[in-house]
Structure 1
Amino acid sequence: MTFSPVAYAKEHVPPAGPQRAYVLGYAMGMLANGVFLPIYVLYCTQIVGISNSGTALAIAVGGLVGLPLTTYAGDLADRLGPRRVVLFGLAGQLTGMGSYVFIQGFWSLLILIVCMNVFAFTYMASEGALMRRIGGAETITFRSQVQSIGNIGLTVGALVSGIGISIGTPWAYRAMFLFCAAAYVVDVFITLRIPDYKPLPKPESTGEAKVRRYIVFRDKPFIAFALVSGALSMSMLVDNMLLPVWIVVYTSAPPWTVAVVYVLNTAMAILLQMRLSRNVKTLRQGGSALLRCGVTLIIGYLMMALMPGQTPILATVLLLGGVAVSAVAQIWLVSGRFVFEFNLPPAHAQGQYDGFLNMITTLSMTVAPLVLLGVVANQGFAGWMGLGVAFLLLGLLGPAIAAWGLRTRPPADAVAEPAAGDEIMATAGMDDSK
């Protein structure tokens, strides 16, 4: 199988219109994130002079402050229109990234992170609602295209950050922060080209049943999915957090393989996301994807758990094989998550459902360092196998949650999704950006 850039573009780039505009804007935002994420901790500790513990405390507190707002922000997207809330989140991240050049110490960093996370969580809670309105009946395919192109932007951004880190001067870092802000400016202007979708009507209350505002808290199948998906999301941090320590401290694999792990994982996501998710459209297929994720993860973790005590060559082979297998598992996880994320919520409440899902996922990511570094790394083979078994059991729940979700959805929900083109025509006359 040969790689064709033209064929890749046809499969991954949506047709001209709101879908392509959103993909391009998202790619610019991910480009900025790819630059920002590797540099902001280094800037705080090496350039500004804030201690490692102080920087970590500011990041942790900022995350906890913004986290409870996610469900509320998603509900705002449902009630005010998703594009407006997305633009609010983008504007705040734009200002926040540019403001890093003014940090003087711990307190200014803490204030900035708290404010920036409010906007970041607002954006994360509302972007799903906007994608559903843009994608219509093809939202799952559209979401996979967004993911694939976003990975490319993130990778390019990481390469750009490497240039600034190599220069290492205060002004090199500041220039990168201003570059991130400029990329978000482009993202904002591209997003303004997307129609200003109006809120969808909610079901009317009757004498016997009153429609509640936060219906996500009563949707047990979705809550179960959010808990399972959030726990499985810990696997996303294995390559970036656990493997570098495992490779350098516990195995004979060359240290340079740490960089190879990141490149291999990202390359597989870029090349295989659309191919592997092509037939993951329904809830049952999404449940099967979560099951395949759990099975594949334990196989990959077994290979990496066997690395200690091996020769450098064999340890490297086991590492690359394990990373490749776990990368496929992560694609299954993302594909299955997309299906549940957009097929379980009613269209008029997509934002609040996404907000709740992001809250659970972020809590899981907060706990992940304690699990991965405090337990798995210290326990060696038993730790890796325990993690793999836990993920396998979570994956086994996927088909059951899918069946539960199907039993509890109103039959009309399966056909109530408006076509993307119909929504664009209906709202184009209301778009103030023209």
Structure 2
Amino acid sequence: MLKRIREALPTGPGVPAFAGATFVNSVGLGIYYPFSLLFFQSVLGTSLTRIGAALTVAALLALPLLPYVGRLIDRFGPRQVLLVSTVVRASAFAGYLLVDSFWPFLVLSVLVALTMRTEQAATPALAKVLAGKEPPGRWLALSRALFNAGFGLGALAAGLTASASPEVLHGVGAGNAVCIALAGLLYATLPRSRPVGATPGTDRSDKVQPWRSRPFCGVVAAGAGLWMVAVSVEVALPVHLVRDVGAPAWTTSVLFTLNTVVLAVFQVPVAHRVERVRPAVLVAVGAALHIAMPAALAAASHLAPAPRTVALIAAMVIYTVGELLASQAVLTLLTALSPDARRGSYLAFNQMFIGLANALTPLLVTSALDHGANLLWALLTGCALAVAVLMAGPVRRVPAERGAPEPDAEDRPEPTVTA
């Protein structure tokens, strides 16, 4: 097992710093997220409803700024943008400790939301640059595996040390700021990077806007759809099992822990084993496997406690395998279909839709739950099936990372020049 994992890992001088930055950054997020609302309430002394509304508004306000972030990635390279992003985000979290009114809190929250989306756009671009001639999927898989491992470790550490004391809650923000700063220091040790490829403006594909590429937009829609399913499961599962089904609270903890462990342990070896499979096929199969969780949640109220627990655990394993396949393949397609010199702009365009889904899905889920959980499970099933169908479109012949033929000319993104 260990030998297979070593064979699946990327090589090169940038691996330790890239892996370390990803890990410590995710540890900070794991420390922060479980207690974020309590942290903000301890700082501001206001209602959770007002804080939640501010965070949603901040996430939406950050989205129109992402095209400019993409241009910065294209011009200066992902490493440089990540350096600035980590400095700004660490400073924002440190600034939370000093604010005592609503509007400074909102400004800092916009900066946090913007830099988080920036890192999600710049990290795959950096992985592509660092990979060189190596399959970039290995770097992307390593990033995802370490993110899940670090997030789980941070959440566990926060849970073991949490209390209602203001000192501990303030430590949540400070701990996250320190982790972000450490990630920035590790990014600084990487060599200066520019996107691989031609100088911007020397190729027709440089002039193609992301929304003009049908294959790329199809992958963006698929990624946003899968993100909506994942966020919906995360939000709805504990509410439905505890409130509607009457399952013990530990059931939710077991299911989420299982999901995190499988993603952290098996992401790299699974990505290595499926390198020869076309990514569109992996997305379609992974999307179909996502249906297992909504189906199990729909049946949960009709099962006795023991069979219900077994069914939910089995469904979570199937669902997580779908995550392993689809999320990795979506990233592979996004980087493969974006021109080298415009990769930052393309990935930032994708983050606009991920951010929108992230901001609106909790509201949609809670509204659907109030009208009956079965409606929500039907919507999630339909969303997963729609993603699978999308993969039969223009992206179906994008080659695997190794050993697959090049796509036919008719399947390549059309180099339409915008006016």
The normalised TM-score by structure 1 is 0.86
Give the superposition deviation at 1:110. 1.0
Alpha-carbon separation, structure 2, partners of 1:363 and 1:410: 25
Question: Where does 1:227-238 land on structure 2 (aligned, <5 Å)?
Answer: 227-238=221-232
DSSP-derived class of the 1:399 partner: coil
Mapped contact 1:300–1:323 kept (Cα < 8 A): yes
- Alignment partner, residue 425 of structure 1: none
Specify the alignment match of 1:85 in structure 2: 81
Determine the structure 2 residue equivalent to 1:327.
320
- Report the counterpart of residue 238 of structure 2 in structure 1: 244
Aligned counterparts of 2:287 and 2:120: Cα–Cα separation in 1 = 26
Q: Does 1:76 align with 2:72?
A: yes
Give 1:164 deviation, angstroms: 3.8
Residue type at the aligned position of 2:330: R
CA distance in 2, matches of 1:47, 1:78: 37
Change (3 A) 1:85 1:323: same
Are the structure 2 counterparts of residues 134 and 372 from structure 1 closer, same or farther at C-alpha, using a change threshold of 3 Å? same
Residues 205, 343 of structure 1: CA spacing in aligned structure 2 closer, same or farther, 3 A cutoff?
Answer: closer
Show the counterpart of 1:107: 103
- In structure 1, the residue matched to 2:61 is 65
1:74 and 1:352 in contact (8 A); partners too? yes
1:277 alignment counterpart: 271
1:17 maps to: 13
Letter of the structure 1 residue corresponding to residue 181 of structure 2? V
Offset at residue 205 of structure 1 (A): 5.7
1:92 shift after superposition? 0.8
1:395 aligns with 2:388: yes
Displacement after TM superposition at 1:57 (Å): 1.5
| SS of structure 2 residue aligned to 1:24 | helix
The offset of 1:197, in angstroms, is 1.4
Q: Deviations over 1:70-108 (max 9, x none)?
A: 222122111112211110111111111222211313223
Q: Shift in Å at residue 243 of structure 1?
A: 0.1
User: Which structure 1 residue ranges, 5 or more long, are not aligned?
Assistant: 412-434
Hey, what does 1:185 align to over in structure 2? 181
Does the 8 A contact of 1:164 with 1:173 survive in 2? no
Q: Work out the percentage of aligned pairs sharing the same amino acid.
A: 22
Q: Which residue is 1:339 aligned to?
A: 332
The 5-angstrom pairing of residues 16-415 of structure 1 reads: 17-46=13-42, 48-137=44-133, 138-165=135-162, 167-198=163-194, 200-202=197-199, 204=201, 212=207, 215-281=209-275, 285-375=278-368, 378-403=371-396, 406=407, 407-409=410-412
Counterpart contact for 2:229–2:380, Cα < 8 Å: no
Listed as ranges, the gaps of 5+ residues in structure 2 are 399-406, 415-419
Change (3 A) 1:135 1:326: same
**Residue type of the alignment partner of 1:202:** T
Q: Deviations over 1:147-204 (max 9, x none)?
A: 1112111111111211342x22111122232222222222111111111013553365
> Between Structure 1 and Structure 2, how many residues are aligned?
402
Give the corresponding residue for 1:414. none
One-letter identity of the residue aligned with 1:113: S
Give the match's secondary structure for 1:168.
coil
| Deviates further, 44-53 or 70-79 | 44-53
Q: Structure 1 CA distance, aligned partners of 2:122 and 2:374? A: 40
1:122, distance to aligned residue in structure 2 (A): 2.6
Q: CA deviation at 1:53?
A: 1.6
* 8 Å Cα contact 1:252/1:312 also seen in 2: no
Q: Partner amino acid for 2:132?
A: G
SS in 2 for 1:17: coil
- Change in Cα spacing, 1:21 to 1:84, as seen in structure 2 (3 Å) is same
Query: What is the CA–CA distance in structure 2 between the aligned matches of 1:394 and 1:18, rounded to whole Å?
Result: 34
Give the C-alpha shift of residue 39 in structure 1. Answer: 1.8
In structure 2, distance between residues paired with 1:205 and 1:383: 48
Contact 2:31–2:158, Cα closer than 8 Å, also in 1: yes
Does the C-alpha gap of structure 1 residues 47 and 94 become closer, same or farther in structure 2, counting only changes over 3 Å? closer
CA distance in structure 1 between the partners assigned to 2:247 and 2:166 by the alignment:
34
Aligned equivalents of 2:413, 2:236: Cα separation in 1: 43
Q: 1:204 to 1:92 in 2, by over 3 A?
A: closer
